Structure 1
Amino acid sequence: MNAKRDTSSYATGSAHDWRSVTADRLRGTVDPEQGWIPMFVYSDPDVYRLELERVFPQTWTFVAHVTELPEAGSFVVRDIGEESVIVGRGDDRTIRVFLNSCRHRGMRLACEDFGTVKSWRCPYHGFTYAASGDFMGTMRGAPFERMAYPQGLDRDALHLIEARVEIYQGLVFATWNRTGPSLRDYLGDVRWYLDLVVGRAEMEVVGVPQKWVLPAGWKLPSDNFTADAYHTATAHSFLGRLKLAKGADFGRDGYHIDPGGGHGLGVGVHTDDASYYPDELRTEFADRLDPAQMVLLDRVKNLHGNVFPNFSFLIPNFIEIEGRKVSGMMLRTWQPIGADRIQVWSWHLVERNAPDWWKRLCRQMYVQTFGTSGMFDQDDTENWEAQTRNSNASLHREEEIMLHYGMGMHAEPLTDFPGPGRVYDGKFSEAAGRSYWRRWLDLVLEEPTK
């Protein structure tokens, strides 16, 4: 389906009304309910500007796992949208998030990815801020302060800009939205499924996150993890050929789930009699999950999902190694660094109390499948790069190129599934993808609150 593009507003519009021009274009082309999404939204610079204004400041962003901040003064540097933030732990064990920007000239305070300090000192002019204690984020001093500022400094006015922070199952989220929903309400029904991934046991991050730059629009991988199990039969068909899966359709068996809020996931299940997880962990699992969650976890052979807008989680397909079935669980953020570029952040998590063999083999499986040079990532990133090149090439076409998002549109959800949300039999569906695009469209068309 191609749609004629209305260029009249571009011919008559002035530079200051690019927002209304772009919004009109989106209203006329993005149609999740009918299963049509225009290709230009993947990488259009004006669409991206709206996202930086209206999506990332208004939503909750995953910034760290609590185990990355083991002691007072420990910190990591992450991003909300394109804004660098410091995630730090105080003496009171509270985790706080600050804009990584000195209040003097806007220089980044923390230029390392992580560390442990008692204060953050600006490398430009030396303004210093507390990195721990009850006064975390307060301005503590400046070089030659009495000579440079004989009238004194209003230190309260120079406090680092602080984000709102909440934690769920060890996942640290932050937002600039002071009046929006709580994190629990924002996550909604996806929490029930996140529990299977990060809440089933006490989890810990292994090592530091891997990161790399990818020439692709950030919504492509987010959309992929939200709703796309269909690509596995083609893009990852090597699993069947190498006898690592029963066949090319290994990605279909299970459930496609639309939990609302723009979030989405798929749960692949096996038919074997026993769970693939170590027996040593069953007591901890049972203490943390309800019986229905335990039944589903015992059947999991893979699980992919995305918390809107750009936080993905994955239990990859269990693969036999050294005679044992293992899976290298991971978390991902698709950090935008431009309309058509992202920095990928990838964390490997494992149960803290797991046997050593499980930890060792899961780490090995993570590196081989979804690490920076993993077998699956090479398949996926090649597709996302090519899609982005096509999107860029289409930006100035007279006709819009419309893409089909209609899979599973007329399917009825199950009525007897124990978990929440709209749940569909089989993972080949785009129902959650349509909800993702509806949530996205609502946000980019909404004027931000003053």
Structure 2
Amino acid sequence: MSTQRELTDRIRESVIPERGEIPLFVYSDPDVYALELERLFGQTWLFVAHLSEVPKPGSFVVRSMGEESVIVGRGDDSVVRVFLNACRHRGMKLACEDFGETNMWRCPYHGFTYGSKGDFLGTFLGAPFERVAYPQGLDRAALHLLEARCEVYKGMVFATWAKEGPSLEEFLGDVRWYLDLIIGRAEMEVVGVPERWVVPTNWRLPSENFISDAYHTATAHSFLSRLDMVKGADFGRDGYHVDPGGGHGLGVGVHVDGESYFPAELAGEYAANLGEGQLETLARIKNMHGGVFPNMSFLIPNFIELDGRRVSGAMIRVWQPAGPNRTQVWSWHLVEKNAPEWWKKLGRRMYTQTFSSSGMFDQDDTENWEAQTRVSDGALYRKDEFVLHYGMGLELPPLPSDEFPGPGGVYDGKFSEAAGRTFYRVWLDHILREKTR
């Protein structure tokens, strides 16, 4: 087993994002994964919930940051906060259910109790037989739950363990302009509870797929053209590839029909929430896929026809690491709260058919990610000379700023890996950075 210094030297010498060179060993090496948990997931902003999932004081959901379980709870002041889901007595999980509404969290092991709402949110309240078991008393202030930094953007709750560093808006940067087209175009709400399933793959493979890979659609999803659901196998190219910086990235697929595919009933709300350039882009969208570094993805799926109406939706994904070659997928379907019923109903059908755990697209993608991970896990392919090629569009300049209204490096056509290379540059910077927590 190599030392941590030897490992970081190996990574520094072999991961060269600017040349599009990524060695295969970094995907399933357990020592690389350990560095990710410490230096990436322990230090950067992570999406944990949508505000509509915790609507009332005392309501909460249980999520993960890296491999650490956290509680996302709302207080009486309507502020949402994030706590490590661990009792300060023996480290037992406090909230063992996935979601709920309660006045207090009581540890199921020894009964230590913490406030879940009001001024007592996260505060240690007491323990059974406290006067007998602890005649000297307990330092209540020292036994509070461990709280993460938490900020909200357009209803999306993010948290980080880093005590200092950029604000959430600074971290998101230019990707906010594009996120608004999904989560900020109207008041959004989560439909039901998020689906979850496990894929035997490294978390980075699906993350980078959403950020920078429209190229696979012609092969992996060729059934779409064979079923006449799209006009041709190259449907994934039409539009723009966007590298907004920060490790984020996306592809914007456009149509030339001259009218918006979104429901006319929501036009007023869209206009109240989006700028002129965003409205212009939304009217042209036929699909949009992307990701917020490191492991959150967003999607407007390709519009399809159901019951004589053209329909799409909004989806958020988190690729939750559960080991170097194991990922738990979290998938949220969002819809405009004030949308007409036909849009809500057909959008849910569209989501189920295409990008749910049983969807047509996910069956294609997960087979590929699983096979890639098995290859990377083989001893033969751990050698640094087995380097993956991320060079698509390496020599192509971005479009002039006056040819597209959105910020960032924007490229004509979605066949590019510019955002993927930036993703790995930011990933590399985190991995090589010493822990500051």
TM-score (norm 1): 0.95
- The DSSP-based 3-state class of the residue aligned with 2:97 is coil
Matches within 5 A, 1:68-147: 68-147=53-132
Q: Which residue of 2 aligns with 1:158?
A: 143
- The DSSP-based 3-state class of the residue aligned with 1:257 is strand
Q: Which residue of 2 aligns with 1:402?
A: 387
Deviation by residue 1:348-378 (Cα, 9 ceiling, x = unmatched) = 0000000000000000000010111100000
Residue pair 2:150, 2:160 contacting (<8 A) in 1 also? yes
- The DSSP-based 3-state class of the residue aligned with 1:41 is helix
| Correspondent of 2:325 among 340, 343, 363 | 340
Is 1:168 aligned to 2:192, yes or no? Answer: no
* Letter of the 1:139 counterpart: F
| Correspondent of 1:50 among 29, 35, 57 | 35
- The DSSP-based 3-state class of the residue aligned with 2:334 is strand
- The DSSP-based 3-state class of the residue aligned with 1:272 is coil
Is 1:213 aligned to 2:198, yes or no? Answer: yes
Deviation by residue 1:316-337 (Cα, 9 ceiling, x = unmatched) = 1000111111113210000001
- The DSSP-based 3-state class of the residue aligned with 1:179 is coil
> 1:42 Cα deviation (Å)?
1.1
- The DSSP-based 3-state class of the residue aligned with 2:120 is coil
Q: Which residue of 1 aligns with 2:173?
A: 188
Q: Which residue of 2 aligns with 1:33?
A: 18
- The DSSP-based 3-state class of the residue aligned with 1:260 is coil
> 1:418 Cα deviation (Å)?
1.1
- Distance in 1 (alpha carbons) for counterparts of 2:77 and 2:382: 56
Matches within 5 A, 1:60-75: 60-75=45-60
- Distance in 2 (alpha carbons) for counterparts of 1:335 and 1:444: 18
- The DSSP-based 3-state class of the residue aligned with 2:367 is helix
- The DSSP-based 3-state class of the residue aligned with 1:363 is helix
Q: Which residue of 2 aligns with 1:303?
A: 288
- Distance in 2 (alpha carbons) for counterparts of 1:377 and 1:43: 21
Deviation by residue 1:224-243 (Cα, 9 ceiling, x = unmatched) = 01100000000001000000
Is 1:426 aligned to 2:424, yes or no? Answer: no
- Distance in 2 (alpha carbons) for counterparts of 1:398 and 1:33: 21
> 1:185 Cα deviation (Å)?
0.3
| Correspondent of 1:392 among 377, 384, 393 | 377
- Distance in 2 (alpha carbons) for counterparts of 1:440 and 1:174: 18
- Distance in 2 (alpha carbons) for counterparts of 1:226 and 1:328: 18
Is 1:448 aligned to 2:416, yes or no? Answer: no
> 1:290 Cα deviation (Å)?
0.5
Residue pair 1:58, 1:180 contacting (<8 A) in 2 also? no
- Distance in 2 (alpha carbons) for counterparts of 1:96 and 1:399: 43
- The DSSP-based 3-state class of the residue aligned with 1:134 is helix
- Distance in 2 (alpha carbons) for counterparts of 1:392 and 1:328: 36
- Distance in 1 (alpha carbons) for counterparts of 2:380 and 2:40: 21
| Correspondent of 2:315 among 321, 330, 336 | 330
Extract unaligned runs of 5+ from structure 1.
1-9
Q: Which residue of 2 aligns with 1:6?
A: none
Q: Which residue of 1 aligns with 2:365?
A: 380
- Distance in 1 (alpha carbons) for counterparts of 2:78 and 2:198: 33
Is 1:436 aligned to 2:423, yes or no? Answer: yes
- The DSSP-based 3-state class of the residue aligned with 2:119 is coil
* Letter of the 2:53 counterpart: E
- Distance in 2 (alpha carbons) for counterparts of 1:55 and 1:434: 17
- The DSSP-based 3-state class of the residue aligned with 1:373 is coil
| Correspondent of 1:233 among 191, 205, 218 | 218
Q: Which residue of 2 aligns with 1:288?
A: 273
Identity %: 69
Deviation by residue 1:182-240 (Cα, 9 ceiling, x = unmatched) = 00000000000000010000000000000001100000000101100000000001000
- Distance in 2 (alpha carbons) for counterparts of 1:92 and 1:277: 36
- The DSSP-based 3-state class of the residue aligned with 1:267 is strand
* Letter of the 2:230 counterpart: A
* Letter of the 1:297 counterpart: L
- Distance in 1 (alpha carbons) for counterparts of 2:285 and 2:384: 44
- Distance in 2 (alpha carbons) for counterparts of 1:397 and 1:57: 26
* Letter of the 1:437 counterpart: Y
| Correspondent of 2:44 among 59, 80, 83 | 59
- The DSSP-based 3-state class of the residue aligned with 2:37 is helix
Residue pair 1:39, 1:394 contacting (<8 A) in 2 also? no
- Distance in 1 (alpha carbons) for counterparts of 2:274 and 2:45: 25
> 1:400 Cα deviation (Å)?
3.1
Query: Which 4+ stretches in 1 moved above 2 angstroms?
Result: 394-400
Residue pair 1:40, 1:395 contacting (<8 A) in 2 also? no
> 1:396 Cα deviation (Å)?
6.7
Is 1:19 aligned to 2:21, yes or no? Answer: no
Residue pair 2:74, 2:81 contacting (<8 A) in 1 also? yes
- Distance in 2 (alpha carbons) for counterparts of 1:287 and 1:133: 33
> 1:398 Cα deviation (Å)?
4.6
Number of residue pairs matched?
A: 435
* Letter of the 2:219 counterpart: T
> 1:394 Cα deviation (Å)?
3.8
Residue pair 2:25, 2:384 contacting (<8 A) in 1 also? no
Residue pair 2:300, 2:314 contacting (<8 A) in 1 also? yes
Extract unaligned runs of 5+ from structure 2.
none
Residue pair 2:14, 2:384 contacting (<8 A) in 1 also? no
What is the aligned-residue RMSD (CA, Å)? 1.0
> 1:135 Cα deviation (Å)?
1.8
> 1:395 Cα deviation (Å)?
6.4
Q: Which residue of 1 aligns with 2:297?
A: 312
- Distance in 2 (alpha carbons) for counterparts of 1:71 and 1:27: 47
- Distance in 1 (alpha carbons) for counterparts of 2:381 and 2:224: 39
* Letter of the 2:324 counterpart: A
* Letter of the 1:227 counterpart: S
* Letter of the 2:109 counterpart: Y
Deviation by residue 1:366-392 (Cα, 9 ceiling, x = unmatched) = 001011110000000000000000000
* Letter of the 1:35 counterpart: G
- Distance in 2 (alpha carbons) for counterparts of 1:40 and 1:366: 34
> 1:414 Cα deviation (Å)?
0.8
Matches within 5 A, 1:252-291: 252-291=237-276
